[in-house]
Structure 1
Amino acid sequence: MPSSPHLPLSDSPPPAADAPGWEVLELARRSAEAHATFQRLMTEAHLEYLRVTETILTGRLATTPTLPAPHTTAPHTTAPHTIAPHTTAPHTTAPHATAPHIAAPAVPAQPDRQGSPAAGPPAGPPAGPVPKPQDGDTAAAPEEVPGAGVLVRPAPSWVETAQCGRPLPGLDAGRVHVVDGGSGLGAAVAAELSERGVAATVADGRGPGGVVLLAGMAGPATPEDAIDTQLAGLRLAREGGRRGVFVVVADTVARPAGAWLGGLSGLATADDGERTPVYVECERGDRGPAALAGVIADELTRGGGAQRVRLAADGTRSVGRPAEPEPSAWPGILLGSEPRIGADSVLLARDCGMALVELARETPCRLILIGDTPLADEPPGLADAHDERTILRRFAAGTGGPDGLAGMRARARALLAVREIRATIEACEAAGAQVRYLCADGAGALSAELDRARADWGPITGLLYGPAPTPAAKSDDAASGAQLTGLAAALAATARDPLDTIVLFSGTTDHAVVGAALDRVAEAEQQRRPGCLVRSLAWTSRRTGEAGPGHPRPGTVAVSAARYPWIGDHRPQDIPILPPAAGLGWMAAAVREREPGAVLTGFRVLRPVATAEPQTISITLSGREVSLINGAGEPCFRARSGAPGRDREWRPTGDPARFPGSSVYAGRPLFHGPLLRTVRSLGEIGPTGVVGTVLGAGAMGWADDDLPVDLAALDGAVQLGGVWAMDEHRPVLPMGVAECRIHRWGRLPGPALCVVADGRRDKFGAHCDAALVGPDGELWMELLGIEFIALAADAPALTAPNPVSWT
């Protein structure tokens, strides 16, 4: 289907030029007829696609068909979604005529919804092995990474300091929830705080108010117990109350697994910036609940708010001073004047692809690679399929046997993983290393495989452990837990080996909890093995400028009316502020730059970004956390990056050109000036949604710019959602988006169909989903879970500057 089909107009006579409102009626008539023609073409194309796809997936074709290639009009395309064909009844020029709503059949999502970029050598992070070159019989060495290096995260320095006598700021801001977490201290700590005038109660921490989390004092019996405690604390930090204090108390020196609680110190980055985070390392020793409760309460009411405190069993109080990460060359950090690694070294490694290749280039060694992927033989007919999208098409066409979209996607990713592992092995061997690969399921199987390797090569002398890539089907928390659990198993398997080198890598997408846990485990291993070189590192590359958790690298955007004239046309309560859609687009682009398969989740507006004066805003990424910070250094928007959720089916109904866009801005409390009035037309507003037409930056006449997303269209989707959310013309403001999926980057080539669906209204506001379908028939953007808050009836008027009418 051509991207810009010719749209013939009707032969029916136009209204008389002297008829009242004939301009509006003529515009509505022409818009409706043009859209009906477009939708007919789109429907025919999709029905043909459905016929071919259904035939392929049920195996009824005698020959192998070729699936239609995705449209590639806009730059930076991701894999296309599909959308249910939109059926529109013929439009009539009679005033207020309502087109019947015809529900169209849903179209299943295409197998390459997100898609994967073509395999290529990783630029820096060791999260995945080096991909195999696609031509030739043997793998050549991966692409050289100039200046590849690491950031060494030193342990914080501790300074013995007396309490200042002042309470923790925010302790009196409201009720404080004391979360026992299995420690047996909750009631005693709540009582001690109450005696000191704090409104403290034992609770689960999920209501409004501050939180004191005591789960780290429960004394985990195994590393797995400690990891579960950290993940539970991470969930509480995200879902709990948003005011007051957030205090985490943990005993990280308790045996046998206290060191694995170190990640609790990273929970502060999961907070939204409105609470005071404090981390207290409290050694239990032989003190009972009453004594420990008094120590903890004293720290909170007299410690003055030091953000990291260590309370030793002997009564010593020390304040932690974080140390700046130190850049270092890799593998030079291991190969100094007295190299620890040589031809006789036996290194156990996991998920350190590029780091291993760099190490093998510098010194011969023996590598035992462990992983979860069996090195299965590749099915025939896929040698020239180099990415997930192409492999999925081959599977859908019958290569390897159809087994449903989910099964095909899993098989495609497993195939690519095997290729990457083989490429890493061959690259390391080409550099002079001897390599073994072990795929062991469970600690017992791993131990048996390592015993066989020791019989051939001798004891293991080093451990290199990197971050595993996050599977799309696995949540961020599950991936973090698996990474830490795998490290615990590797350390247990090498407990009796004479290790002289331990290197723990964190990656750029790890949450700060993971980095903090690795730091504390490294500190404990250094104490247990005084002669061993132990390092906790964040992989980085001077070419890409990437950095690990705790060392966020911001991007900046200069915001001014001179650069972006539309800035001044967003004026709720007559105050110019940055549209949340603009921040949403910039933050989504920053996430895509670092992790192409991720999406933006949990977007929240913390405070408005005033745009009356020019300023430079920053987009920072730390672990999975993404923040937009204004020129004054205040966090204004916050979100997270993560794997996309399940595919969403869209069923647009009704006539999107029923009413002109001028009726939207003339009769409702919107606050958009001419350059942001992107809703061209809309249909009847239903109980759960509405359809309409939205213009992009090009159609609005915006000058060429460097924006990664069509912000005009993105804001138009939010506007149309707001029109639905107003419900009897009440003023609303957008405050959050659960998930933002950008499938096509760059500017729309023409008007887009906007679908608002699955809406829910109440007296506090509304929630809905929205999607934009481009003139090419492909899904460009999805905003899931848009949250609007309703303003009070007596709130200042939401006015728009310079009223404008459509012509």
Structure 2
Amino acid sequence: MREEGRRLCHRTGYRWLVRSIGFAARTKCVDSRADGTCQDGGSRVPKASVKAIDLDRTGLSAEDAAERIFRELIAGGPEYEVGLQIDGGRMTPALELAPLKAEVGARTGGPAVLLVSGGARGVTASAVTELARAERLRLILLGRTPLEEEPIVCRGIEDDAGLKRALLEQVKAEGAAVALPELGRRVQRILMNREIAANLQSLRELGSEVVYVPADVQDTSALREALRPIRAAWGPITGIVHGAGVLADKAIADKSVEQFDYVFDTKVGGLRALLAVTEEDPLALICLFSSVSARSGNAGQADYAMANEVLNKCAQAEAKRRGPGCTVKSINWGPWDGGMVSPLLKKHFEQRGVNLIPLKEGTAAFVAETSNANGPVEVVIGGGSADRQTLIEGAVEKEWSAELFLPKQPLPPWLDDHRIGGKAVVPAVIALDWFVRAASAAYPHLAVLQCQNLSVKKGIVAGENGSTEKRLILTCRDRSDGLAQATLSFELRGADGQLHYTADVEMGIKAEVAPTCRAAESTSGGADWGWSLSDIYDRNRLFHGPGFRVIRELTGLVDEGAEAIFWHDDSTAWSLREGGIDPAMIDGGLQLARLWGLRTFGEPTLPTTIGSYGAYGSLPEDRPVVCRIRSERRGRYKTVSQLTWLNEAGEIVAELRDVEMHIVANHGKED
């Protein structure tokens, strides 16, 4: 596992580095059937919890190792794969958007001699052809299809139906018979032979030398024998491209052992054979065609996902073993616009919002990766742009939960300094912070784009005098494509089942440039507030203690809104915690909305709903922040406000939209 950190998009394609970061949350589940249902055919709720734990046992007793595994299973994160370090650290693979470099470095010496499995047809052939445009190669292409002369009656006929008619007429003329499935197989062999011949011709026209070897990529003995005369003519092999692969998509319950082996062994057994027959060769390149399903899984592809993840791990091991003299890549491809994606499947992908990799962009990405000796070993490449990044069919829905405990005495500032009617009450912004942190823990490689529809169902009051620990249950219905998008629906309940808060969090790859935000017009000036800071904080207009007192100056008041300057001091420094929302600063906006309601209508309010929260930059820690609100009263008991936070440069760094605050009778009225 490695840490990388670059973020850029490449035209209509995009690519992720696999990196590692640590976090904590709870376990999530995966579906067991291709259609997302459980084996009983009923609910789509997953019934299996799946996790791979890589534990460094250096110096650990069996009991200590068991304890660490137990803690991970009970309270670990919702990801599938985790590494537990000897120092107590916790690492998990994550993905980060990264630049795709397209420079091709000049190779020294003669032309590279590449051994390519699956390279005579499909996307592997297209990728190798693109590489041949950049440099002269010597190519050994392995394929399962033997080259045959096609029947004379088929020459000049291009369409499938015409070929079948010609073959059927020939069979009839010979007084024989043929079953329709066999007729279809003969036509398929003719079309595959034509494709191979055309690809070989294209490569030769580009200046490369090509030998086609019809062989089973898993047959080490046959490969060794076939390579003898080629080595004698061309010298040692200098690179491997392993593109061979097959599919047999079915739910695990419906898949036979033979089908599993067919899919798994083509990838894994094929790689084993390729490495075996080149063990004495000075390899400068190993490029493996893996799949995005290895990173995220895919319904019906347990065998394919497993095989490709083995390729990923083998690539990491080979890179470490061989050192900088060999460029090793494992490319986790999303679905291509071609290859194994039929027109019917392409239409299905489009309907599901899955982006196919255009052939031109995909082959360019292959060339870029194979020439990038200093880049990461394992990458994910898909089609589409940065704002449309679904890589694999559909999203898998999971459920997971976590326990939270309100602390005992002494209470922290976020609880002790938020008292309503003398009772310590969890602020709405703390619930918002919990949801954002839980989402970030579940998907550390994604950014929180928005927290929406935060609703206060019933306030959370700490135990009497804070003397007892209060238990809360955070549950999440989690829908994610496993890579670039996630939607999490949260509920926060008490131990008694009482629903306190709900919210939805949207996550994705954050763009380099912040989205254009709705700029709030300045409301500085206007009417005089007529209140000092002591008036608002010490005379019950606001009930907030020192830990939430971020308002430093009331600078504007109009009928439609207000403006104030916020600033942190030592009392509010608790709020400056990494990975959250800066609760004190966000709560300051709610305080300003409450003050506007008091000043305009003479009625105190409390927040009940936040339409959405968005962050587009970091709230300054030691500099002033301007908060502007636009508010209106709706009906007799409710105000609705739009809140915006701006840094000194006037850039919007955070927003709350559609904040509903309801009038609270006999609470916090002016003296």
- Which interval holds the TM-score relative to the shorter structure? 0.3 to 0.5
Larger radius of gyration: 2
Normalized per residue, which structure has more strand? 2
TM-score normalised according to structure 2 size: 0.41
TM-score normalised according to structure 1 size: 0.35
